[in-house]
A and B are shown apart, each in its own frame.
Chain A
Amino acid sequence: MVGDAISHAVLPGIAIAYWLSQSRASLWMFLGAAIVGVGATIVIEVLRKKLRVQSDASIGMTFTSLFALGVVLITYWSDSVDLDQECVLYGEIAYVPFNLWLVDGVSYGPIALWSSGVLLLVVLLYIIIGYKGLKMTSFNEDYAAVLGIAAGLWNLSLMSMVSLATVVSFESVGAILVVALLVAPAATAYLFIQRLKPLLFASASIGLVGALGGYGLSKVLETSIAGSIATVLGALFLIALIIHSLLARKTSKYAVEA
């Protein structure tokens, strides 16, 4: 849920970065988003730990306030900032091919393809390098701290990674649907797999199936690509959930008979 919150909270950062740099270059937007994203994480933690606000509420309060601020800023600068709420809510991947990376008139293909490719590499590297630290921190923060792993640092870096993935993806799929991409594959896989490494591979595969399936669906029905991908991911989870429930019923029946 923090990922969802951050994907909304970064809006003012993006707006300010855009306004300052007057460009839609992903690097600036990422910097703005990363600063606000990390700031939002800190505010959420302070509200929760120091001020004893319910953890759900501290997330909700923070991201809505920042999102509202972002919308107001965008409206205020609407003459110079070419962003709108709709783009943030459900970005349009269909326009991606038209947004080309041009150097001296030579096209190197769509910008989003490059930025997503770089993102994939960065995330892969991060997971390979940080595998142990991430694993320890995710499962048992206290134990990780005892082993001398800087849990706080890993949490922060993981959050920055989430911000990065969010910002790079959001032009294509929008701030809300990026959450489907973040959560659904892992949740689906986790119904059946509890070991970390197989879980990582399974969620990557489910994500891939969802993306391809969603794209196919959108071609057939001529619907929004991002929406279709989220729908397919949701459907995959639903199927998995039904199978999971049936299996659970079966085992519990055997347990009673035994």
Chain B
Amino acid sequence: MDPIFLKVLIGTTLLASSAAVVGAFSYLKGQSLVGDAIAHALLPGVVLAFLLGDGRNPIFLIVGALISGLIAHYGIGYIQSRTKLKSDTAVSLVLSTFFGFGIMLMSLIQRSGQGQQAGLERYLLGKAAAITMDDVYVFSALAVLLMVGVGLFYKGFQLMTFNEDFAAAIGLPVTFIRFTFTVLTVLAITIGIQTVGVVLMAALLITPSAAARAWTKSLPTMLLLAAVFAASSAITGTYISSAIPKMPTGPWVVLVLAFFGFGSLIFAPEKGWLAKRRRALANQKKTVRENVLKLMYQQEERNGVSVVLSTENMLSIRVMQPEKLRNSLRDLKRRLLVVEHGNGYALTELGRSEGRRVVRLHRLWELYLTERLGMAADHIHPGAETMEHVITPEIEELLVKELGNPELDPHQSPIPYEEA
């Protein structure tokens, strides 16, 4: 394999996965954009380090970046806690003015014509393709440092993220933990920025976590998944950019990440958009089915005999979309809850019992609202229309017990129990 390609590959993969792990904590704290601000705010520190010392020495620039990033981080915190400014105003204010200051300092260097700005340029636009072997060593060392740091402080970070007050109450050194976390974040950003540039750094911190969060609720799994998403994006992005001439690596890594991120948010089981939609749709269908059974049961109740109802009959009794009703009836027939008779439908024994259950829940809930919550009898119907689809058998049992096996609902209709 091409050694340059390999270097870029190792470098970006290390960077992306360590940034993802640190970013996951910021994501869970809801402070993802602080990372974006820090990425921009590093610039003045880097340029000052360049001006004051040896510009070629990456360690020197990293120290400059670290100091600048810490000042920005605490500056944002100060503005957020001491003024009435909104927290995102504080973030964008620090971001843009620090960056502007950095640009101003940089133009000083350009004017003095010191030439070797390669070390600086990469802090702005990121130059993944220019990764040297020295960089790979520095990046690996930092990646190891980050992983070890997160490993050692795992419990502390976890508590800091989810419940800082609790962490303080059980005697954890919260200030120290937060400081360590900030240093690690700034370090991750400092090295990450050299690969993807100042603007796209935020993607390395945020997107893997957003993607991972869609798949899991557990923190360790989320950290692992975020790292895996980041690493595979780094590998794929590096590969694409090397396959197409002139293509920059950073943006491709971010595009692949975006693909994972938006893909996860749409397709992930349970929390994904499609799964949510499917659940909502299934729920809607169940509600329509139960409403149809209820309607048919009430007609039987009124007439005292089994009745055959056409779709027109049903629509004249209850407002429904005809299309939805027809679909629902087809569904009910498949479930053996109704049978077709001529041009109408009648309940089966199974369907009758189900319709009875819905009517019973409706009336029980109405009774509960009037008896226990003291609501007026003419205000309770809409609430019961919803609750009849929600109440579980366990809650039903409790309701019956609470109300003392009632016979009649507030409108004097009988509460239909299943015959023993």
Residues of A bordering B, CB below 8 Å? 1-4, 8, 47, 50-61, 63-65, 67-69, 71-72, 75-76, 78, 85-86, 89-90, 174, 176-177, 179-180, 182-184, 186-187, 190-191, 194, 218, 221-224, 226-231, 233-234, 237, 241, 244-245, 248
**Does the CB pair B96–A8 fall under 8 Å?**
no
Binary contact readout B107-137 vs A (1 if CB under 8 angstroms, 0 otherwise):
1100100000000000011000000000000
Check A234–B101 contact: CB distance below 8 A: yes
Q: Across the interface, do B93 and A183 meet the contact criterion of CB distance under 8 Å?
A: yes
User: Can you report 7 residue pairs joining A to B where beta carbons are below 8 Å apart?
Assistant: A56-B88, A60-B32, A85-B197, A86-B124, A89-B199, A176-B100, A244-B83
A65 touches B255 (CB 8 A): yes
Is residue B231 contacting chain A, with contact meaning CB distance below 8 A?
no
Q: How many A-B residue contacts, CB cutoff 8 Å? A: 207
Main secondary structure of the interface of B (DSSP, over half): helix
Distance between A146 CB and nearest chain B CB, rounded to angstroms: 22
B-side interface size class: 35 or more
Chain B residue contacts of A234, Cβ below 8 A: 93, 96-98, 100-101
B258 contacts the other chain (Cβ, under 8 Å)? yes
Given the complex, which residues of A lie within 8 Å of B8, measured CB to CB? none
**Chain B residues, Cβ within 8 Å of A248:** 82
* Contact yes or no, A233 B254, CB < 8 A: no
- In the complex, residue of chain A having the shortest beta-carbon distance to the beta carbon of B206: A60
Residues of B within 8 A of A (CB): 27-28, 30-36, 40, 79, 82-85, 88-93, 95-108, 111, 124-125, 197-200, 202-203, 205-207, 209-210, 213-214, 246-248, 250-252, 254-255, 257-258, 261-262, 265, 271, 273
- The residue among A4, A182, A228 with the most chain B CB atoms within 10 A of its own CB is A4
Given the complex, which residues of B lie within 8 Å of A69, measured CB to CB? 251, 255
* A233 / chain B contacts, CB cutoff of 8 Å: 97, 100
Indicate if the CB atoms of A227 and B102 lie closer than 8 Å. yes
* B198 CB, nearest partner CB in chain A, Å: 7
Q: Does the CB pair A237–B93 fall under 8 Å?
A: yes
CB distance A230 to B246 under 8 Å?
no
Across-interface contacts of B104 in A (CB, < 8 A): 218, 221, 223-224, 227-228, 230-231
By a CB distance below 8 angstroms, the chain B residues around A67 are 199-200, 251, 254
Candidate in A53, A78, A191, A221 with the most chain B CB atoms within 10 angstroms: A53
List A contacts of B40 (CB < 8 A). 176
